[in-house]
Structure 1
Amino acid sequence: MGGIGEIDVAFKGILYDFFSEEKSSKVLLTLDTKRGNGKYIATYAPYGYVKSPEDKHKLVVDEFTSQIVKRIFKEFLSGKSMYKISEGLNRDGIDTPGVYIAIQVGSEKQLARYREKKPLWNNVAIGRILGNEQYTGTMIYSRFKNENVGDKHAKALPEDEWKRVENCHEAIISKEDFEKVAAMQKENTCASAKRKHEIHCLTGKMICGNCGHRLSHTYAGRPKYYCANHYLDKADGKCNISVLNVDMESVVKKVLQMMIDVLVDSRKVVDMQREKQAERLKQAEKHLSDMEHSRELIEKDLREAYESYKLEMTDKKTYLEQRKIYEQMLASLQENIEKQRAAVTKMTDVDVP
């Protein structure tokens, strides 16, 4: 019966996978059909757009954020670095895409969290906008694919396998400008690859003591760590932190040495505690052994008193008095032996860390 049951469970699993895959394929086919017809399916509109009030599957240009997108492309084409573009947006108090999405959704809790953290524009946010082809009016989909039913992580497909629907919505950026930006980014990537340095061992581990942001690292000039938050938000002058590699390494080495010294000292303390514990246990075991030896002597005396009585060397009254005394002594001693044995067991079970 067990074998049949296992086969039944396995068969049900196969059926489940089959129907799940079939259902998943139908859902994906339906979504792809909608996207192929130019319908926008994602939860949030890209920065620069909003969903049309009349048709939630249609993107329309957002008057304010579309100007920010145009500004980013224009400044990059003029030769500004992504860092300089970020600096300007932060200086002008422009909300990041994350904050704007929270405003779109109407999530007061999420918006309050964003406001508290004071998110800033950075190279990553600028790079995502510069690389988003949807700003040319083209719908892009099928960029990822799940290998199996239930996969949590989809596999990224090569760009030439992406599906596109052109002129799907109003363009914010011309295709010519988008292609120019893509070419400039590719050129910058190639140049960066030529001067690529090894990642410093402390990269990503150093935190700014003022604002809590991770310190950035650069090999330009004298290699150093610095707080990018200071450069991205010039209005906040608290984070003017810059530490050379050699100085940072020296501080870290000193801290590590202090931790090692503390660890060594703590081990010495533990060793001393273990020695004291072993000595206390040794004394307790000796005391228990002495008590057990005393019990044996009393039991011997009791036997000898009985032998004397049997041989009529002592009278009955004397023997009974002696036996009473010995038995009282044995009872008291046995009680103390049990207590001492429990104490020894407890000391044996104690583990000094």
Structure 2
Amino acid sequence: MEQIAMYLRLSKEDDFVADESNSITNQRKFIRSFIKKDKELKKMNVIEFADDGYSGKNMERPDLQNMLELIKRQQISCVIIKDFSRFSRDHIVQGKYIEQIFPFMGVRFISINDNYDSQDHIGGIGEIDISFKALLYDFYSEDLSEKVKASLKSIRSNGNYIAVYAPYGYVKSAEDKHQLVVDDVASKVVKRIFKEYKSGASMYKIARNLNDDRIVPPGVYIAETEGNEKMLARYKKRKPLWNVLAIGRILDNEQYTGTLVYNRYKSKEVGARSCVALPEEEWRKIENCHQAIISKKEFQKVKELRELNYQKFTDGKRHARHCLVGKMRCGDCGHTLVHTYSGRPKYYCIKKFLDQSSGDCRNSILDADIEEVVLTMLQQHADVLVDSREIVDLQRKKNEERLRIAEKHLEDMEHSLVLLQQDLRASYEAYKMEVTDKDTYLEQKKIYEQMMEKMQENIEKQKVAVRQISDMDVPEAAGFEMLDGSMKLTKLNKEMAEVFVDEIVVYDEGRIEIKWKFGDKSNRLVNIEDVEGMIR
């Protein structure tokens, strides 16, 4: 018997908009009612696939992937959805499946609310109808995102706390999960940190004192109190310690004064998980939302003291992040090495400062030394393993491919803008012919103009990206130059480190192990003196 895949999806955004028709239950009833009314479909076996809480901008949804796997095995002959947005809100991905993949696999595709049935579209799908509908959904995703932000803003503006975990020092109230109450144990640690800093102790000293007293750091404490086994298992792999970063976060957290602070970050784009920090003047604050652990006067005093200490320590200068930060590890304890620009810039193991009970761990290396070692060893690999000209050609080909893709995106966006302009004219003509009334036309006009404005903004951004890729000097950008047909590495930069270096382990007596990304056979332990001999 042939099988129908009934696909349902509900995202967190749908919850905030509160459209009951989009609930999983109502989607299910709606689709089953449609199937029962169709003589052909009601004879088929129905399999349900549902993803609850997943964005339509992301195709990596568990049940969607299960459905696609059955389609690959030719066990599904028809897919039914409530509307196109349930399947995908990315019009490019959506078009690829509807216009190419499903027809090739012989799968019938039905979108009930869009009056679309691939069985009725012999010879392909109408480009304007599908492209326009998909663009509407793509635009709607951004509009929906703004609605979600507005909903969250409204909740927070009433003094409600909505993050997954309470800040260290607090727990969520058992009566109201949107309210914070003081944690008797952790709050004492917070008070101690502020008190010691005010008395003149450095953040290093405070962190070491807490580690000496066997007080678990915030991440471990929250995982234990919440019973999060997954987090605890991750922490067990490497013993977490209090460090300067953890102390700084607590000293900077104004929520300890009873003030709710939000709007500190925003998403880079719709559907993105990563965020960017907003300047403090854009933060939102509501005072007296919960019990204070630290008085406002004490918090302000510590803030002023931190600014003063920062000026003394850095002389007001800010340094760029070193290219190997995050890749340097201690060969004895396994902790990530800390980088400092004070004195002679270097990497060092901070564990000896943070946990004196663990023994003496003094592994460190100067920036100049590690940069010289990595460049020298990488130059050797480049000379032995590959033809230098091939590397340049490969980099240029990659850049050409990036340029080709960027130009294709620009072409697709410009084509979409033309389609929108055509549809706007068609809407106006329908109004003039009295097919639609004035109110309908004005509403359509407003939507089209909003979409065209957004599309034009994206086109201008894409043009800038195309120019930047086109003007890029490949050897210079990659950190090397060509001399007599050979590649000469000139500097170690972030791009080079990301491409070639996996991890660098620093041991005592100047021994270093570089783990390259181009094969385990290339990894070996070296001494700084040996490398310096190669250079001389």
TM over 0.5: yes
The residue that corresponds to 1:260 in the other structure is 380
Give, in whole Å, the separation in 2 of the partners of 1:255 and 1:169: 57
Distance 1:144 1:86 in 2: 27
Matches within 5 A, 1:132-281: 132-146=253-267, 149-194=270-315, 196=317, 205-218=327-340, 225-242=347-364, 248=369, 252=373, 256=377, 260=380, 264=384
Cα pair distance change 1:27/1:210, threshold 3 Å: same
Cα 1:3–1:194 change in 2 (3 A) is farther
- The one-letter amino acid paired with 1:24 is S
Q: Using a 3 Å threshold, how does the CA distance of structure 1 residues 157 and 243 change in structure 2: closer, same or farther? A: closer
AA in 2 matched with 1:162: W
Instruction: Pick closer, same or farther for the CA change 1:8–1:160 going to 2, 3 Å.
Output: same
The residue that corresponds to 1:332 in the other structure is none
Q: CA deviation at 1:238?
A: 4.6
- Name the residue aligned to 1:309: none
Runs (5+) with no aligned partner, structure 1 = 268-353
Equivalent pairs counted in the alignment come to 264
Structure 1 match to 2:223:
102
* 1:26 Cα deviation from its structure 2 partner: 3.0
Task: Measure how far apart 1:71 and its partner are.
Answer: 0.7
Instruction: Measure how far apart 1:43 and its partner are.
Output: 0.4
Q: State the SS of the aligned residue for 1:207.
A: strand
Q: Which residue of 2 aligns with 1:35?
A: 156
Structure 1 residue 244, shift from structure 2 partner: 6.0
**What do the CA deviations read for 1:122-161 (whole angstroms, capped 9, x no partner)?**
1111111111111110111222334754344444332122
* Cα separation, 2, equivalents of 1:261 and 1:62: 55
Q: Residue 173 of structure 1: CA displacement?
A: 0.6
Deviates more, 1:158-167 or 1:79-88: 158-167
The alpha carbon displacement at 1:9 in A equals: 2.1
- Write the distance in 1 (CA, Å) between the matches of 2:199 and 2:178: 34
Partners of 1:207 and 1:103 in 2: CA distance: 27
CA distance in 2, matches of 1:43, 1:17: 28
Whether contact under 8 Å (2:166, 2:172) holds in the other structure is yes
- Decide which structure has the larger Cα Rg and report it: 1
3-state SS, counterpart of residue 60 of structure 1:
strand
More strand by share: 2
Query: Structure 1 residues 20 and 84, CA, compared in 2 at 3 Å: closer, same or farther?
Result: same
> Secondary structure, in 3 states, of the residue corresponding to 2:333?
coil
Instruction: Decide which of 144, 162, 165 is 1:44's aligned counterpart.
Output: 165
* Residue range with higher mean Cα deviation, 215-224 or 127-136: 215-224
Q: Is the 8 A contact 1:39 1:57 kept in 2?
A: yes
How far did 1:32 drift? 1.6
> Quick check: 2:266–2:278 contact (8 Å CA) kept in 1?
yes
Contact preservation (8 Å) 2:251, 2:302: yes
Residue 147 of structure 2 corresponds to residue 26 of structure 1: yes
SS class of match (1:191): helix
Is the 2:187–2:293 Cα contact (8 Å) retained in structure 1? yes
Shift in CA distance, 53/153, structure 1 to aligned 2, threshold 3 Å: same
Match of 1:308 in 2: none
Q: Is the 8 A contact 1:210 1:238 kept in 2?
A: no
Following superposition, the deviation at residue 213 of structure 1 comes to 1.8
1:183 and 1:250, CA in 2 relative to 1: closer, same or farther beyond 3 A? closer
Bigger CA drift: 79-88 or 142-151?
Answer: 142-151
Deviation at 1:220, TM superposition (A): 5.4
TM-superposed CA distance for 1:24, in Å, is: 2.8
Which of 242, 254, 264 in structure 2 is aligned with 1:121?
242
State the distance in 1 between where 2:263 and 2:159 align.
13
Instruction: Give the letter aligned to residue 260 of structure 1.
Output: Q
The correspondence for 1:14, drawn from 117, 135, 150, is: 135
- The AA in structure 1 aligned to 2:203 is M
SS in 1 for 2:237: helix
**Partner of residue 73, structure 1:** 194
Residues 340-351 of structure 1 mapped to structure 2, 5 A cutoff? none
How far off its partner does 1:245 sit?
6.6
How far apart, CA to CA, are the structure 1 residues paired with 2:382 and 2:157?
65
C-alpha distance 13-75 of structure 1, shift in aligned 2 (>3 A) = same
- Quote the Cα distance in structure 2 between the aligned partners of 1:114 and 1:261: 36
Per-residue deviation, 1:75 = 0.9
Letter in 2 for 1:59: L
Could you say which structure has the higher helix fraction?
Answer: 1
- Classify the secondary structure of the residue corresponding to 1:145: strand
Q: Displacement, 1:119?
A: 0.3
Q: Is the 8 A contact 1:17 1:149 kept in 2?
A: no
Do 2:330 and 2:336's aligned partners in 1 also have CA atoms closer than 8 Å? yes
Task: Give the secondary-structure state (helix, strand or coil) at the position aligned to 2:357.
Answer: coil
Give the 3-state SS of the residue equivalent to 1:86 in structure 2.
helix
Of residues 87, 91, 100 in structure 1, which corresponds to 2:208? Answer: 87
Deviations 1:77-99 (A, max 9, x none): 11111111111111111111110
Structure 2, unpaired ranges of 5+: 1-120, 387-536
Report if aligned partners of 1:35, 1:141 keep a CA contact under 8 Å in 2. yes
Q: Which amino acid aligns with 2:351?
A: N
Partner of 1:292: none
Higher relative contact order, structure no. (Cα contacts within 8 Å, ≥ 6 residues apart): 1
1:112 aligns with 2:233: yes
Q: Once the two structures are aligned, what percentage of the paired residues are identical? A: 56
Instruction: State the superposition RMSD in angstroms.
Output: 3.3
* 1:272-321 CA distance string (max 9 Å, x none): xxxxxxxxxxxxxxxxxxxxxxxxxxxxxxxxxxxxxxxxxxxxxxxxxx
Using the TM superposition, give the Cα deviation of residue 194 of structure 1 relative to its aligned residue in structure 2, in angstroms. Answer: 2.1
Residue range with higher mean Cα deviation, 48-57 or 17-26 = 17-26
Identify the range of structure 1 (61-70 vs 176-185) with the bigger mean alpha-carbon deviation: 176-185
